[in-house]
Amino acid sequence: MELLIPVIKISVVLGVLLGVVAYTVLVERRVAAAIQNRVGPNRVGWNGLLQPLADVIKLVMKEDIVPKQANRFIHDLAPMISMAIALITFAVIPFGDSITLFGQAIKLQIASVNIGILYILAMTSLGVYGITLSGWSSNSKYSLLGGLRSSAQMLSYELAMGLSVIGVVMIAGSLELDKIVQTQHGWMWNILLQPVGFVTFVVASFAETNRHPFDLPEAEPELVGGYHTEYSGLKFGLFFLAEYTNMVTSSAVITTLFLGGWQIPYIGLAGLPAFWVSILQVLAFCVKVYLLVLFFIIIRWTIPRFRYDQLMNLGWKVMLPLSVLNLLVTGLVILYL
Amino acid sequence: MTVDAILFFIVAAGAVASAVLMITGQNPVKSVLFLIVNFFCLAVLYLILHAQFIAIIQILVYAGAIMVLFLFVIMLLNLGTEEKHVDALNMKRSVAVILSCIVLFLILIAIGLPAAGTGGLPASALVNGTVETIGRDLFRQYLLPFEITSLLLLGAMVGVIVLAKKHFE
Amino acid sequence: MIPLEYYLSLSAVLFATGVIGVLTRRNAIIVFMSIELMLNAVNLSLVAFSQYLGSTTGQVLVFFVMAVAAAESAIGLAIIIALFRNKQTLNIDELNLLKW
């Protein structure tokens, strides 16, 4: 029984996550079409709802091409690293308070560790390996440039990301994610207490997930496809899915740290039974995460890409000082107010 | 044998194997990968020791930052195919290997191996490895060294910029 | 139940591997990585001592070692890049300008 509950939790979270990711691809294409005044994919199934399935079948059936001069082993390994790291970040994210099922209180979080935030930062910093190694192992100049760009970019923005999290940690007084969510009861969401930290964290998340306007590692007009130029079939599909999984994961992290996680303000006053409160909280978490995912998508289709020097300037000359300043102000306020 | 002990032997074997593969590999990128595997093995060993903070910092700093830097430099200099010639094990190097092995052997004799099952982790280890305990000690007892670390990092930063800049006016 | 000596032995083996790497390899980057391996081997014995003796000092020391390692690797890699720019090689047998 002790082993069964975590296994069930992991399977449910993985299943839901992969399903959501698959449909996010469809959502992205439909939103893009709407913004560009097109229709978008609407042929497979009702309004194109079976499109993700068709895409997966197509990717699996395609031939896997490896360049002759490539390093075969690392070429195979890179997409797996990308996908695995995108998925395991979810292990520490609380998607609800505890729920009582069959007379047993179950915590709605896969693993509650007392180094939760550090775990997330560590996993984000590992995400760069998949991209860098794919760029190196393909033995192609476009891939190599994409890989180099991504490692420089992610190292630069990791600092701003880590520093803007510390403000939240100082307010909550804990590194545990479920404690951080619990301190954000009512309207005490960290987005209101840490507006600057929120902005820097969201911008850094965009850079860490290689999404527009920071998608220089795969800038199509300059680098063909960037780090995944030499990939095809299922391995390309893994990179593609990893990008969307990263998007969902970082939305979940932003929700947990700044948007109150599963908290619904004043739900306790409504007098609902505890079971339904838990269900509503999980739903609230999902809605918040998905709104953020939509935000990621809309940004992609509205803002043009940065130039490389602009990216570095923003990272080192704006984001880093801003997050240090935010840290200083937060510290002073906590100390003297 | 407990689960911890089994895990210890598996991970220890992994650490030694990856270390050996790291120093024998011809391709620098593969060496970097084996070193990363080695760092992960050490992180798991720290977790077996209940030193959670050090374990996660090990991954965050070593695997997440330092090794990315190594990989970045290797890719930048494009060293992947440079070192084709195998390092010949000549007289000097064989002496070095033999001497290291003798020293290792002496150290192992000095450590001595007790029978398995004797002497486990004390109960205080559970508390000692948490962020709270280490943070408290770091900012009380070791505050001055901690502050001096910032000077070290600043010096390193200035040094790196001076070294890496092509033309310095 | 794992005795402290097991950790120390593992640490010694890893350290010796690092020493052999430094002494036998000729690629500056691999020599440098062997030094990182040696630092890590020492970290392992520090953490093991700290946990078995019930004092946090060892772990605080590991924290400082990591800070030093970060600074050292940044500087070292900058030196390696500068060397490569001047000599187009990283073979440390050929970098013998100071040996007359």
Subunits next to B (3 or more Cβ pairs <8 Å) are A, C
Q: Is the same domain home to B136 and B57?
A: no
State phi, psi for A104 to the nearest 5 degrees. -130, 130
Is the domain of B47 the same as that of B122?
A: yes
- Residue in C45, C68, A220 with CA at minimum distance from that of residue B149: C68
* pLDDT confidence of residue A53: 86
Q: Which two tokens stand for residue C54?
A: 């019930």
- Arithmetic mean of pLDDT, A237-258: 88
Q: What is the pLDDT of residue B168?
A: 55
State how far the Cα of A332 lies from the Cα of A62, in Å rounded to an integer: 58
B24 and B58 share one domain = yes
In chain A, residues with a C-beta closer than 8 Å to the C-beta of B59 are: 122, 126
**Residues of B engaging A, defined by a Cβ cutoff of 8 Å:** 27, 29-30, 33, 36, 52-53, 56-57, 59-60, 63-65, 68-69, 71-72, 75-76, 78, 80, 130-131
The upper half-sphere exposure of residue C22, i.e. CA atoms within 13 Å in the direction of its Cβ, equals: 14
Residue C28 domain-assigned (yes or no): yes
Q: Is C93 part of any domain?
A: no
Q: Quick one: how far is CA A44 from the chain centroid? A: 28
Q: What pLDDT digit, counting tens, does each position of B63-93 carry?
A: 888 888 888 888 888 765 545 555 556 777 7
The band of B30, judged by pLDDT with boundaries at 50, 70 and 90, is: confident
> Is there a single domain that holds both residue B68 and residue B98?
yes
Nearest CA in chain B to C42: B42
In a domain, C41, yes or no: yes
C29/B74 CB distance under 8 A: yes
What pLDDT score was predicted for residue A271? 73
Say if B118 is an interface residue toward chain C (CB within 8 Å): yes
pTM value is 0.88
CATH number at residue C57: 1.10.287.3510
Does C21 have pLDDT greater than 70? Answer: yes
Number of domains comprising chain C? 1
> Tens of pLDDT along A79-114?
888 889 888 888 888 887 777 777 777 777 777 788
Angle between helices C28-53 and C57-87 (to 10 degrees): 180
Query: Pick from B113, B129, B145: which residue ends a domain?
Result: B129
| CATH at residue B106 | 1.20.120.1200
Alpha carbon distance B44, B51 (integer Å): 10
**Paired tokens of B154:** 């600043």
B3-17, B74-88, C50-64: which range is least confident on average? B74-88
Pick C6 or B90 by higher pLDDT: C6
pLDDT at A43: 81
Q: Does C96 fall in a domain?
A: no
Give the distance from residue A217's alpha carbon to the nearest chain B alpha carbon, in angstroms: 14
Verify that B17 and B68 share a domain, yes or no: yes
Range of the domain at C60: 4-87
Tokens, residue C19: 């020493």
Q: Nearest to residue C21, comparing CAs of B100, B132, A51? A: B100
C-alpha–C-alpha distance, residues A110 and A60, integer Å: 30
For residues B155 and B78, state if they share a domain.
no
Cβ–Cβ gap C74/B73 under 8 Å: no
Residue B137 belongs to what domain range? 130-169
Tell the residue number behind the tokens 């080695």, with chain if given: B38
pLDDT confidence band for B167 (50 / 70 / 90): low
Place of tokens 């007359």: C100
Which chain A residues touch B52 with a CB distance below 8 Å?
113-115
Same domain as B66, residue B148 = no
Structure tokens at B166: 């092509």
Phi, psi of A49 (to 5 degrees): -70, -20
For A230-277, give the DSSP string. T--HHHHHHHHHHHHHHHHHHHHHHHHHHS-TT--TTGGGG---HHHH
pLDDT score, position B116 = 57
* Rounded Cα–Cα distance for residues B59 and B61 (Å): 6
Q: Using CA atoms, how far apart are residues A147 and A210, in angstroms rounded to an integer?
A: 11
CA A16/CA A38 separation, integer angstroms? 29
For chain B, the domain total comes to 2
Question: Could you say which of B69, B73, B100 has the minimum Cβ distance to residue C16?
Answer: B100
Residue C57 lies in a domain: yes
- CA dist., res. A150 & res. A118, Å (int): 22
Spell out which residues of chain A touch residue B80, defining contact as CB-CB under 8 Å: 71, 136
The HSE-up count of residue B78 (CA atoms within 13 Å, CB side) is 8
Name which of C44, C51, C41, C40 is nearest B119 in CA terms. Answer: C51
Please check whether residues B111 and B148 belong to one and the same domain.
no
- Please tell me the predicted confidence (pLDDT) of residue B117: 55
A70 has pLDDT over 80: no
> What's the complex ipTM?
0.89
Task: Name the residue type at position B29.
Answer: V
Distance, C-alpha B55 to centroid of its chain: 11
Q: Region A119-132: what's the mean pLDDT?
A: 86
Percent of the residues in chain B that have a pLDDT greater than 70, as a whole number: 86
3-state secondary structure of A307: coil
Q: Count A/B contacts: CB-CB distance under 8 Å.
A: 72
Please provide the average confidence, as pLDDT, over all residues in chain B. 82
Is the pLDDT at A16 greater than 80, yes or no?
yes
Is residue C33 included in any domain, yes or no?
yes
Helix axes A274-300, A233-258, angle to 10 degrees: 120
**pLDDT at residue C65 tops 60:** yes
